[in-house]
Structure 1
């Protein structure tokens, strides 16, 4: 946007926020502040002199140059784009970004099967805990270090297994740091997961890492590239499906569902339902109780994705009809169940039913507190409810906003 040189900082922030369709509550939350603080900034009642806060606002507004806010003319102020704040993120950042260069094998022996067991247990934790992000983030720095050492300290078949484990660790890191990792770290993690899997020459690991890379591409507004990555990975697995283990078919199905959501968010209805149908066919060929250990692909997740695709295509009627036919409790992943209720709430909001949406979002928050607190779609839904819920329910909506960190206590 082009602003007059003498336009105050507060008015610049307000115009930028409104041009992006952001509420004051959402922008303030992304900066770790309350809406009253931002209101005073925008009105000019409070001066904005803190350079870190200026950069935080610029990042939240997706600006690459903070001088758009400060009005410093031709003097560029580069912005490191980050996401939502989590107190355990710095330790994970250090483990990923401060990797030391070494020569020769690691001097610290690592039990590779034991390491893989720990990684598998952490994936289980991710899917089973209501505070999954905090618990998994606490474990990741040690897992990353041990996995890197395992690759350096092994040879032959054992090194191949260590590389698969390393890929799994970085996939888990990508999942646990979604929406909170700065963009550069998200890309590093996704690339390392894919590179380790390719070095191991392990097709299922490559496909799983591609699924993770697709997440990063989609969330950073590269839908075409996301579709290309996941469809190429699916083609890599396709020749092996008839004789492949269930988990190979599980990741193949997960790639189809990923493509379905990516196409739906890009408004491509025909492609979205074609990909979803392909995933549905995969689920039909797997045991009824099958669940992929990291992507949780299976019968329940296919049914959940029908709702997600329908909501992303703004066909709330189909989404809510599908929701009426499923039993959420058959899904073993707490994280995925919470996300399901968020999708159902979005469907109710599309139809203007704020009462139903509030009830459903409260349920999502009870099931997966951190899933709601660290998922932008969920925060947007809570903000919408806080602003537009019926008068009789505004107190409950405000309480929900407080629980997820959008509103300051009291």
Structure 2
């Protein structure tokens, strides 16, 4: 056996990126897409064929790979630490929501002031409607969440029997709504706590539709933290749970089943799995056709319009810009009652225009998305990334407009 005292060479920047990507279980198309680039670009970076000189792209890779210091990629440990942004955005409503979630009382026992489960569910349903109808949905919903969380927790601690089961369903709904309203602004630990509590409450209530809805929420967290296979597994298991009940179930049970299919479609698309993505979309489309044309699920807004919106999302995430834009041409956005979802549709359309290099059209469409729901654009990473690109590379004639949009979205310091 031959021994050598020569040190093992440090891996290159590209090799480090590949090792980090493999450790996260991410495919090359997924990581490249998170950086706004194609898989061929990333392949050349990883193999050393192309140097990585852009500090902006280096930061995007670090955020996508969820490393806390740039040295994990650059290998430069001789200087001071180079911390990277966490991707979490500040929001004034977050401290009160955090307090309500993290200071849950452990006391049990009946009281004379236990909330009525039906009234509690009514408040939750009304807050979901606010989430979908308000242009400032995060801010307005965040103001209501602390009291809703405390009241729902009180109800589940103090009621029993069927009333407690109803309160548990309401509690699961509250935590699902909390997950939606704090996405990208909550610390990671709160996001996981909220998703787990939603699923636990639904399971304790033994309510298949509530379990499926909570699983849809859990899968959102898994997908956004780069665990696409786990996200698909969760929505698949939830669909298997609720499928035997569909024939005689209420419409909303089929609605959440359809939402699970659309979730899988987007997750597969972001992972570059074309066939799987469209098969899952077809399953959602089939469910939509079995429901009334005007049906809309109260929280996921699954229905005919959302299925069509998701076709655009799938095509965009698969980087099929021409298909995405062609599909968008045939959509009537006013059929979607949710401002939040309409805004995200136009974000996807803007991304499609950017993929084709048409920044003028992208700027126009992104401005529409912001007008519909300012907070959706401000707090959605893909929208912020597109706005940043427009701010930096807008045509000369539209630079003032792009700068105004960037300032409104809060990316001028990016």
TM-score of the aligned structures, taking structure 2 as reference length: 0.82
Contact 1:119/1:143 (8 A) holds in 2 = yes
What is the correspondence of 1:2-401 to structure 2 with a 5 Å cutoff?
17-21=56-60, 62-64=66-68, 83-106=88-111, 108-401=113-406
* Aligned residues of 1:167 and 1:193 also touching (Cα < 8 A): yes
Give the Cα–Cα distance (whole angstroms) in 2 for the partners of residues 271 and 66 of structure 1: 34
Unpaired runs of at least 5, structure 1: 4-13, 23-57
| Per-residue Cα deviation, 1:127-159 (whole angstroms, up to 9, x for no partner) | 000000100001000000000000011010000
Q: Is the 8 A contact 2:388 2:412 kept in 1?
A: no
The answer to whether the 8 Å contact 1:208/1:251 transfers is yes
Offset of 1:240 from its aligned partner?
1.2
What is the rounded CA distance, in whole Å, between the counterparts of 1:326 and 1:334 in structure 2? 15
8 Å CA contact 1:60, 1:82 repeated in 2: no
For residues 60 and 306 of structure 1, the distance between their equivalents in structure 2, rounded to whole angstroms, comes to 25
Between the aligned partners of 2:220 and 2:309, the Cα distance in structure 1 is 18
Aligned counterparts of 1:136 and 1:176: Cα–Cα separation in 2: 7
Q: Distance in 2 between matches of 1:77 and 1:320?
A: 40
- Closer, same or farther: CA 202–400 of 1 in aligned 2, 3 Å: same
Q: CA deviation at 1:243?
A: 1.0
Name the CA distance, whole Å, in 2 between partners of 1:113 and 1:228: 33
Asked if the contact 2:108–2:158 (Cα under 8 Å) also holds between the matched residues in 1, the reply is no
SS at match of 1:385: helix
Q: Is 1:133–1:370's contact at 8 Å kept on the other side of the alignment?
A: yes
SS in 1 for 2:410: coil
1:51 corresponds in structure 2 to none
Q: Tell me which moved more, 248-257 or 59-68.
A: 59-68
Which ranges of structure 2 fall in alignment gaps of 5 or more residues?
1-9, 13-52
**C-alpha distance in 2 between matches for 1:395 and 1:82:** 26
In 2, Cα distance between equivalents of 1:61 and 1:226 = 17
CA RMSD of aligned residues (A): 2.7
Deviation of 1:309 (Å): 0.1
Deviation at 1:344, TM superposition (A): 0.4
Q: Structure 1's 405 and 81: CA in aligned 2 closer, same or farther, altered over 3 A?
A: closer
Q: How big is the shift at 1:104?
A: 3.0
Q: 1:379 to 1:98 in 2, by over 3 A?
A: same
Is the 8 Å Cα contact of residues 168 and 193 (structure 1) preserved in structure 2? yes
| Stretch deviating more after TM superposition (72-81 or 129-138) | 72-81
Deviation readout 1:307-352 (Å, 9 max, x if unpaired) = 0000000001110000010100110000000000000000000000
Residues 172-199 of structure 1: CA deviation (Å, up to 9, x unaligned): 0001001111111000000000000000
Aligned length: 363
Contact 1:123 1:294 in 2 (8 A): yes
Does the CA contact (< 8 Å) of 1:334 and 1:368 recur in 2? yes
Contact (CA 8 Å) 1:67, 1:73: kept in 2 or not?
no
Is the CA contact (8 Å cut-off) linking 1:60 and 1:81 kept in structure 2?
no
Moved more, 115-124 or 95-104: 95-104
Match of 1:181, SS state, is coil
Distance verdict in 2 for CA 1:303–1:224, change over 3 Å: same
